Amino acid sequence: MGKISELKGWKDCSSTYILAVNDTINVINGKWKAAIISSLFFGKKRYGEIERDIPKISPRMLSKELRDLESNGIVLRKVYSTIPITVEYELTKSGHEFRKVLDVMLEWGLEHRKNTLGKKP
């Protein structure tokens, strides 16, 4: 259990499978979430560092996406009581495990672009 390729037909595809796939899609839904997660693969970062990694994202959108990722248990936000206050973001265990999902999506996306658009990566 756990792979769609192991199912024998639609009847085997219980709502559990559909809900699990929908949960995954909801976590990464949005233009910037994969980029934010990828930025944090390399360790803890402050807001400004993430913003520099993704130059086209607006500050408002970055804040929103970080909140979404935090509420979904992908990103951990740590506030330090320094002067001025320091805030760092890092991936949770679940966030690090998400790398496997992104790796598969990357492979599929590169092949899909090549086949449908005739573009090389």
The CATH number of the domain holding residue 66 is 1.10.10.10
Hey, what are 121's tokens?
A: 């990566």
**Has residue 96 been placed in a domain?**
yes
Percent of the chain with pLDDT over 90: 57
Please report whether residue 86 resides in a domain.
yes
State the residue range of the domain holding 107.
31-117
40 assigned to some structural domain: yes
Q: What is the CA radius of gyration of the chain?
A: 17
In this structure, what token pair is assigned to residue 92? Answer: 């949770």
What gap in Å lies between CA 116 and CA 86, rounded to an integer?
A: 45
Answer yes or no: is pLDDT of 21 > 90: no
| Mean pLDDT of the region 74-99 | 95
**Full-prediction pTM beyond 0.75?**
yes
**CA gap 63, 50 in Å, rounded:** 10
Give the count of domains, the chain.
1
